[in-house]
Structure 1
Amino acid sequence: MKSIFTMLLCVIGVSVSFAQESSNPLSFGVKGGANVTALRVENPDGGFVAGGFGGLYTNYRVSEKFAVQLEVQYGQHGVYSNVNSDVTIPASMISPDLPQNMFGTMETLGRVNIRTEYLSIPVVAQYYLGEKKNFAIEAGAVFSFLTRSEVEFDGTSQVKDIHLLVDGNQVPAGIDDIDITETTANSIEEGTQFKKFDFALTAGAAYYIPNTNFNINSRVVYGLTDVADNTTPDDWKKTINFQFGLGYTF
């Protein structure tokens, strides 16, 4: 991944030098802003998380109306998922020393917070509109490489109503509620893994402010890769990312 990043920086650097020394339609810039991201799931019970992004871009103006833009970005992504469940479990799941006929209700209430960071390489085609050609619509692909992930369970998990099952009847076991928050948190955090690569399609728009080098841009990034490697819960699937940024062209 470091070699890819270095290679892209070299390509951009060469492009900048060439553009500065000639009338070549290559230009170079920096951009940054906010990411609002989540995971698309079949049964959503959570929401979007805000983060930031920043990076470099090089733009090749094919004609007055068309251009191709290559970018290198580093961005923060995330999602949160609410957890509210009651499941009957055998007490032996808590400790193998407990009787096989002992059961309880595992009550878990809280929120799973997920933070990921990606090195992304968007490649987009742009079409310029307006009399001054300072408004562009764009579409393309994004190739992302996971660099960091963090999963945290913020809540409580307890086993309540502990009882013995004797001849089909429930008999109180005389045991107080058992707190298993740490065990549940470890299970969620260790059981939630993400793949190292994500592929997405993107579309958006940019406005190049007249008489300045600044531009305002926004995109939606729609993931096509199932990013979960070892899913918890099973229906976590693909990313969605809304990006709002400010760019400066040198």
Structure 2
Amino acid sequence: MKKLFAFVFALVSVGAVAQTSVGVRGAFTSGTFTKFDLIENVTPEFRLMPAGSGALFVEIPVTSNFSIQPELGYIQKGFAIREGIDVGGEFLGINIPVNGKVNFRSHYIEMPVLAKFHIGDKNATHYYIALGPSVGYLADADMRIRVLDIFPVTTNINKDFYKPIELSGVAAVGFELPVAEKVKVFTEARYIHGFSRVLDSGIFELPVRSRTLSGGMGVKFTL
């Protein structure tokens, strides 16, 4: 955690020196994993899992329309099994009841570094696109089970079943609107494409990677 706080402090310090912008972003996410056999002879369909994310960021201008944007955020990834599928059995050390509707959730501290291109005058209302890599650190993992549509039960999952680090690529498009002299609000759609395998069985590597869509909004302040 000390390294994370040091990283945030470094971002703010760089932004202050460069007279750039700092901001916060929140988003609704919908994610899934690439398909594999959960349990022998059972192949339920993976559904998108609704969740949330948030981040702090610094936008450092390089030219009038191009910036570098490091971020530090939290994001929840995973997948869902829906429609009352008769799962039954054990996965990742947890017993799954028959007719259980399940969300497999992994919680990441995410650190993207984006190249941000402003389309038009960035001091006025305009669009932008952003692209770049991201490194995620697995903070926790759990499974939420809803039995017979009555009540949810959340159970921790042994993090040893997951790889601790995930490498991803981020693509975003947004719309930015000035609301005061040094304050802008924005809305943004983002796609995160996982390149790393995220599960580790301890015996063989499962070809499972994350895919996440998000939509949200935020505010940034010019220093």
Decide whether aligned partners of structure 1 residues 191 and 236 sit closer, same or farther in structure 2, where only a CA change above 3 A counts: farther
1:125 partner amino acid:
A
Matched, 1:219 2:182: no
Matched, 1:135 2:127: yes
- Once the two structures are superposed, the pairs formed by residues 12-91 of structure 1 within 5 Å of their partners are 12-19=11-18, 24=19, 26-42=20-36, 45-81=45-81, 83-84=85-86
Matched, 1:249 2:213: no
2:33 partner amino acid:
L
Deviation at 1:236, TM superposition (A): 6.0
Matched, 1:150 2:142: yes
Matched, 1:194 2:162: yes
2:214 partner amino acid:
Q
Matched, 1:239 2:207: no
Determine what percentage of the aligned residue pairs are the same residue: 20
| Structure 2 match to 1:11 | 10
Give distance in 2, aligned partners of 1:201 and 1:116.
Answer: 18
Residue 16 of structure 2 aligns to a residue whose secondary structure is helix
1:140 partner amino acid:
G
Task: Tell me which of 95, 114, 118 is aligned to 1:124.
Answer: 114
Aligned-residue CA RMSD in angstroms?
3.0
Q: Is the radius of gyration larger for structure 1 or structure 2?
A: 1
Whether the aligned pair in 2 keeps the contact of 1:151 and 1:192 (CA below 8 Å) is: no
Matched, 1:205 2:204: no
Give distance in 2, aligned partners of 1:124 and 1:130.
Answer: 19
Decide whether aligned partners of structure 1 residues 67 and 37 sit closer, same or farther in structure 2, where only a CA change above 3 A counts: same
Deviation at 1:211, TM superposition (A): 3.9
Give distance in 1, aligned partners of 2:179 and 2:158.
Answer: 52
- Deviations 1:96-127, CA, capped at 9 Å, x for gaps: xxxxxxxxxxx955444211111000111011
Whether the aligned pair in 1 keeps the contact of 2:81 and 2:103 (CA below 8 Å) is: yes
Give distance in 1, aligned partners of 2:34 and 2:117.
Answer: 29
- Deviations 1:81-101, CA, capped at 9 Å, x for gaps: 3554799xxxxxxxxxxxxxx
Give distance in 2, aligned partners of 1:201 and 1:131.
Answer: 27
Decide whether aligned partners of structure 1 residues 197 and 208 sit closer, same or farther in structure 2, where only a CA change above 3 A counts: same
Whether the aligned pair in 2 keeps the contact of 1:115 and 1:150 (CA below 8 Å) is: yes
Count of residue pairs brought into register by the alignment: 192
Whether the aligned pair in 2 keeps the contact of 1:136 and 1:205 (CA below 8 Å) is: yes
1:242 partner amino acid:
L
1:11 partner amino acid:
A
- Deviations 1:10-44, CA, capped at 9 Å, x for gaps: 1122134335xxxx3x2111111211111111566
Give distance in 1, aligned partners of 2:88 and 2:14.
Answer: 59
Whether the aligned pair in 2 keeps the contact of 1:39 and 1:236 (CA below 8 Å) is: no
Residue 200 of structure 2 aligns to a residue whose secondary structure is strand
Decide whether aligned partners of structure 1 residues 85 and 28 sit closer, same or farther in structure 2, where only a CA change above 3 A counts: closer
Residue 8 of structure 2 aligns to a residue whose secondary structure is helix
> 5+ residue gaps in structure 2?
37-42, 90-96, 149-154
- Once the two structures are superposed, the pairs formed by residues 168-179 of structure 1 within 5 Å of their partners are none
